[in-house]
Chain A
Amino acid sequence: MSSQQAVIEDISNTWGNQIEVLEDEFFAGVKVPLQILPELFRKIRDEHGFNYLANLTAVDHQDRFELVYHIYSIPDNRKLMVKADVDHDAPSAPSAVSIWPTADWQEREVFDLMGIRFEGHPNLKRILLPDEFEGHPLRKDFQMKG
């Protein structure tokens, strides 16, 4: 058993049927309910050495948003993908800034372009677009005009 699988097994044992193990040929991962994200992040950082959050982004599936985290462990050279669904009408998610400070700008970018609020973020402001911009361009229902 590779240590990669051990991480997923540990997560499965802790949260049981709340999580879904993703069948992905490129990236081992789990899909979890939004509210356990902070606990899960803390666990994999402290117990499994996942010290580097490489990528954080979101996808608009029109009926829901999906947050995607690509997390690596630099010392052990392991990787894990975490996905979580976010409600489309009042999109809000817990912030990961207190666990990995690198989430700061990446969450601001998701907020700016996709309009998901991150609770507990120290400075949730637009980052790429001007402050007075209206709407979130990466949403599928964003009206583009010339």
Chain B
Amino acid sequence: MLQTEQLTINIGPQHPSAHGGLHVEAVLDGEVVVDAIPHVGYVHRSVEKIAESRTYAQFVPYTARLDYLGTHLPVIGYVQAVEKLAGIEVPERAEYIRVIMGELSRIASHQLFIGSLAIDLGATTGLLYCMRDRERIMDMFEMTSGQRLLAAYMRIGGIAEDLPPEFLPAVRSFVRDIPKMIKEYQGLLYGNEIFQARLKGIGKLSAQDAIAYGVTGPNLRACGVSYDIRKAEPYGIYDRFDFEIPVGSNGDAWDRLMVRNEEIIQSGRIIEQALDQLPEGEIRAKVPRVFKPEKGKSVYHRIEGAKGELGYYIVSDGGEKPYRLHVRAPSFVNLMALPLVSRGGLVQDIIVNIATLDPVLGEADR
């Protein structure tokens, strides 16, 4: 029998498939993965420490840089946590606009997921199709906030500015086109035999392991667990919308893709309902620039981010700045499952597993 030696190779942190600064130490026996240990921290900025020296309002733009691929979601999570802590009421119109922007962010994040998965598997055109469609969302973010990628559009107590007149037709036509986009991805990617062979049965995760390792979001739902914070613990006005939670059955890479694909459609449904119900009125509550939440009060507020449970734990000491702020980042916790899904597979599947666990390192490293 051929004697083989275990070999350790480093994937990343500088690697196209490392999705921005992820370092995976892969221990290989021939082509079989013995272990795949993720190392994080390459883009650590210590945002939790920065928060302690900023007022509550000043910290808003920093949160946009956590999950920069679904940029409105971490900002919504943060401002809602502060509003809860300080007892601030948000006007109805602002709540609806938050839902619209949040779901657009989710779609943008999932489209980039599909596109980057395609290019990781060598299907460059897939990336171009997804980027082309995501571009329309970026344009809408630019219309509303002047910023395409890091749109810190939310404010404590509401949103920064009202929607411009060209926004509503743009978002309506985008939502109308979602089925067409999905059909194109289907024809170009999902129907492709090689694409399917690279994903089906790869990187399986059981529901039990997923929960034990704290995996959340689409990655958890792909394992067949119907758990979505928008339904389990509705925040904002999510209890007013009718939508489904797509779940998978095998917990493999293919299911992780299919769940996200279905979520794009569901997010479209939510946006449509929000547009139909969008009321007129105020967009921001009157919140003083500097305010002081009650001393000793703390809050843990969590939302369904594009990657999973995104939570903020904030402690107030009665001052104008948070005494302590902790971000529970879904990408950070989800990455713990990488060795679990990679062991026993092949080297090439590590790339698939990184892509389908969908970490964004800005959030994992904070």
Instruction: Report which A residues bind B (CB closer than 8 A).
Output: 24, 26-27, 51-55, 57, 59-60, 68, 70, 74, 77, 79, 81, 100-102, 104-106, 109, 113, 127-130, 137-138, 142, 144
User: Out of B41, B49, B300, B366, which one reaches A70, CB within 8 Å?
Assistant: B300
User: Out of A54, A101, A138, which one reaches B48, CB within 8 Å?
Assistant: A138
Known contacts: A77-B232, A101-B212, A128-B365. The answer to whether A59 contacts B315 by CB under 8 A is yes
Interface size class of B (residues with CB under 8 A): 20 to 34
Instruction: Report which B residues bind A (CB closer than 8 A).
Output: 40-41, 44, 46, 48-49, 84, 211-214, 225, 227, 232-233, 298-302, 309, 311, 313, 315, 323-324, 326, 328, 332-333, 335-336, 365-366
Known contacts: A27-B300, A127-B40. The answer to whether A102 contacts B84 by CB under 8 A is no
Known contacts: A26-B84, A129-B44. The answer to whether A74 contacts B328 by CB under 8 A is no
In the complex, the chain A residue whose C-beta lies closest to that of B300 is A70
Which applies to chain B's interface (DSSP): helix, strand, loop or mixed?
mixed
Known contacts: A51-B212, A100-B212, A129-B44. The answer to whether A57 contacts B326 by CB under 8 A is yes
11 pairs, A vs B, C-beta closer than 8 Å:
A24-B298, A27-B299, A54-B328, A70-B313, A100-B212, A101-B212, A105-B332, A127-B40, A128-B365, A128-B366, A130-B41
Please name all residues of chain A whose beta carbon is closer than 8 Å to the beta carbon of B300 when the two chains form the complex.
26-27, 55, 68, 70, 81
Contact B311 A54 (CB under 8 A): yes
Please name all residues of chain A whose beta carbon is closer than 8 Å to the beta carbon of B302 when the two chains form the complex.
54-55
Which among B301, B326, B365 has the highest number of chain A CB atoms within 10 Å? Answer: B326
Contact A59 B328 (CB under 8 A): no
Q: How far is the CB of B297 from chain A (nearest CB, A)?
A: 9
Q: What is the bound-complex CA distance between A105 and B328, given in angstroms?
A: 12
Contact B46 A105 (CB under 8 A): no
Contact A102 B232 (CB under 8 A): no
Contact B213 A102 (CB under 8 A): yes
Please name all residues of chain B whose beta carbon is closer than 8 Å to the beta carbon of A138 when the two chains form the complex.
48-49, 324
In the complex, the chain B residue whose C-beta lies closest to that of A113 is B48
Q: What is the bound-complex CA distance between A54 and B308, given in angstroms?
A: 11
Q: Sort A-B residue pairs by CB-CB distance and give the 9 closest, nearest first.
A: A102-B214, A128-B41, A57-B326, A55-B328, A128-B44, A59-B324, A101-B212, A102-B213, A70-B300
In the complex, the chain A residue whose C-beta lies closest to that of B333 is A102
User: Out of A24, A59, A74, A113, which one reaches B225, CB within 8 Å?
Assistant: A74
